[in-house]
Structure 1
Amino acid sequence: MKRLILFALPFLSLQAMAQKPEDTEFYKPVPPKVTPGKTFSDAPSDAFILFDGKNLDQWVSVKDKSKPAAWTVADGAFTVKKGTGNIETKKSFLNYQLHLEWKIPANITGKGQARGNSGLFLASTGGGDDGYELQILDNYNNDTYVNGQAGSIYKQIIPLATVNKKPGEWQTYDVVWTAPTFNTDGSLKSPARVTVFFNGVLVQNNITLEGPTQYIGKASYKKPHGACPIKLQDHGDPSEPISFRNIWIREL
């Protein structure tokens, strides 16, 4: 047995010597060139602008998708107009990188879930509040259930940290969304996954979702879907409504 080992060693050395660095170097396909924004929040050159500070031309009312979004645009931002319902993008998306900025008003009132409540639905699978919700809420000094605070995947996954700024200050979500896939018979092939940075802090780390948001009961994948719009929620709270600005997306 010892002789076999001694004879094998020179053979292995010759194999290693025959390999070259070039054997594991690749030159194609060449990644597309993308010019980054001047700051982390600025849209890169390949981004699709969902809100440019001027109008809601890329959004429609969820109540009636033939009608434009009825929220209020002013001073480079738009604000929830209570009672008008949710709004969603005209365009549908599959996998993407999304940047969105939101602000709770400085004079916010209420407590718990009734304190600046809204939601970013990463894929709107139907009317109303159907879809996968990333919660928006004032948690700077406001306690609630942890899978319902800002940065949580609502009623599913708590955030890794609480990083809310004070009401009246702009906050950011940077999201990487991987849509679920389904087999031809409608059964789940691969679940949705999401990574979320909240004010630059990682709060969801490529987590797997159990299904679309379910207010009562456990989430599950009940029906297959493909590309979906992105939706923002009019929660209907009596407290002052929240505002949004600088929304862009990169399809992946």
Structure 2
Amino acid sequence: MIAKATTIALIGFAAAAPASQTASGPKPQDTEVWQPEVPVVTPGPAVSIPAPSDAVVLFDGKDLSQWVSTKDKSAARWTVAGGVLTVRKGTGNIETRRRFGNYQLHLEWRIPAGITGEGQARGNSGLFLASTGDGDNGYELQIMDSFRNKTYVNGQAGSIYKQFAPLANPVRAPGEWQSYDVIWTAPVFAADGALKRPAAVTVFLNGVLVQDHTELKGETVYVGAPRYTAHGPAPIKLQDHGDPSAPISFRSIWLRELK
């Protein structure tokens, strides 16, 4: 989930309710979609997929040499232990040193066993497929505990946050490893900044298709409507959402650049 509100107008998600026409302006709830519920699918056994020979290895289980703090580009300060990368609360988002256009990405993530809370407060992070700013700017694929945990469908795991619900919910129980396999097609802009081709994404969650060449409406926002701002190749970002009960972990992060 994106952590900070913006002041842009209402989202264009077809099933969303109209924006509140009150003096206080749009609210986060205006862009939450709760129905229809996403069908639950039991995934196959978890398998960690090694990086192929032409991959860029973004996390090899040893160090954070491929990552920096999003805020000031200093060395990333999350925790690495036992081959696993874990969010260190309060250190902020991290992003790749390198910038990418189109790519295939593999990433594995885990919500801690014994997590408490509910809804968006029950394990929360985000994979930003292209990071366009210091905070929560960019295009977010939601990471959270969606195993028997009800929340708005365009905010559960596998969703393009506040834009598109996943086609299925194949999330495993907390404490088990989950996997994302992503095909990202970056947006294309004209010389004057106008959008020529929207971003598109295909996502498999635990081997189950949850986004099928979905064309994004713009960058992720918490309040209001998504929109595009011209940019070129961009880093990939992982979110420190600040949830004290859920230090989310990652492993086996690799990428293949595509034309």
Shorter-chain TM-score: what band?
A: 0.7 to 0.9
1:170 to 2:215 alignment: no
SS state at 1:99 partner: strand
2:77 & 2:244 partners in 1: Cα distance? 18
- Consecutive unaligned residues in structure 2, runs of 5 or more: 1-46
Distance apart, 1:145 and its partner CA: 0.3
Q: How does 1:198-217 map to 2 (within 5 A)?
A: 198-217=205-224
Matching of residues 43-54 of structure 1 within 5 Å? 43-54=51-62
- Correspondence for 1:64: 72
Q: Equivalent of 1:193, from 196, 200, 223?
A: 200
**Structure-2 separation of matches of 1:145 and 1:158:** 9
Q: What is residue 93 of structure 1 aligned with on the other side?
A: 100
Residue in 2 that maps onto 1:125? 132
Question: Following the alignment from structure 2 to structure 1, what is the Cα–Cα distance between the partners of residues 83 and 250?
Answer: 9
**Greater helix proportion:** 1
Residue 40 of structure 1 deviates from its aligned partner by 7.0
In the alignment, what sits opposite 2:40? none
Residues in 1 aligned to 2:137 and 2:59: alpha-carbon distance in whole angstroms: 22
* Counterpart contact for 2:139–2:219, Cα < 8 Å: yes
Amino acid paired to 1:213: T
SS at match of 1:109: coil
CA deviation profile, 1:168-205 (whole Å, cap 9, x unmatched)? 00000000000000011110000000000000000000
How do 1:15-26 and structure 2 match up within 5 A? Answer: none
CA offsets, 1:104-123, max 9 Å, x none? 00021111101110000000
Normalising by structure 1, we get a TM-score of 0.83
After the TM superposition, list the runs of 4 or more consecutive aligned residues in structure 1 that deviate by more than 4 angstroms: none
| Partner-residue secondary structure (3-state), 1:174 | strand
Separation (CA, whole Å) in 2 of partners of 1:59 and 1:108: 27
Amino acid aligned to 1:232: L
Deviation at 1:49, TM superposition (A): 0.2
SS of corresponding position for 2:218: coil
Query: Which letter maps to 1:242?
Result: I
Structure 1 residues not aligned, in runs of 5+: 1-38
Post-superposition offset of 1:44: 0.8
1:144 aligns with 2:154: no
Structure 1 residues 246, 217: CA separation in 2 closer, same or farther (over 3 Å shift)? same
Q: Which has the higher contact order (CA 8 A, sep 6+)?
A: 2
Alpha-carbon distance in structure 1 between the residues aligned to 2:243 and 2:117: 9
Report the CA distance between 1:220 and its aligned residue.
Answer: 1.3
Counterpart pick for 1:242 among 230, 245, 248: 248
SS for the counterpart of 1:147 is helix
Give 3-state SS (helix, strand or coil) of 1:122's partner: strand
TM-score w.r.t. the length of structure 2 is: 0.81
Partner of 1:104: 111
Computed over aligned residues only, the root mean square deviation of the Cα atoms, in angstroms, reads: 0.9
- The one-letter amino acid paired with 1:206 is H
Which residue type is aligned with residue 101 of structure 2?
L
Say if 1:107 and 1:240, in contact at 8 Å, map to a contact too: no
Counterpart Cα distance in 2 of 1:204 and 1:88? 23
Provide the rounded CA distance (Å) in 1 between the counterparts of 2:125 and 2:116.
14
Give the aligned residue type for 1:188: L
In structure 2, the partner of 1:14 is: none
Q: Is the 8 A contact 2:124 2:246 kept in 1?
A: no
Which deviations, in whole Å up to 9, do the C-alpha atoms of 1:90-134 show, x marking residues without a partner? Answer: 000000000000000002111110111000000001110000000
Moved more, 234-243 or 163-172: 234-243
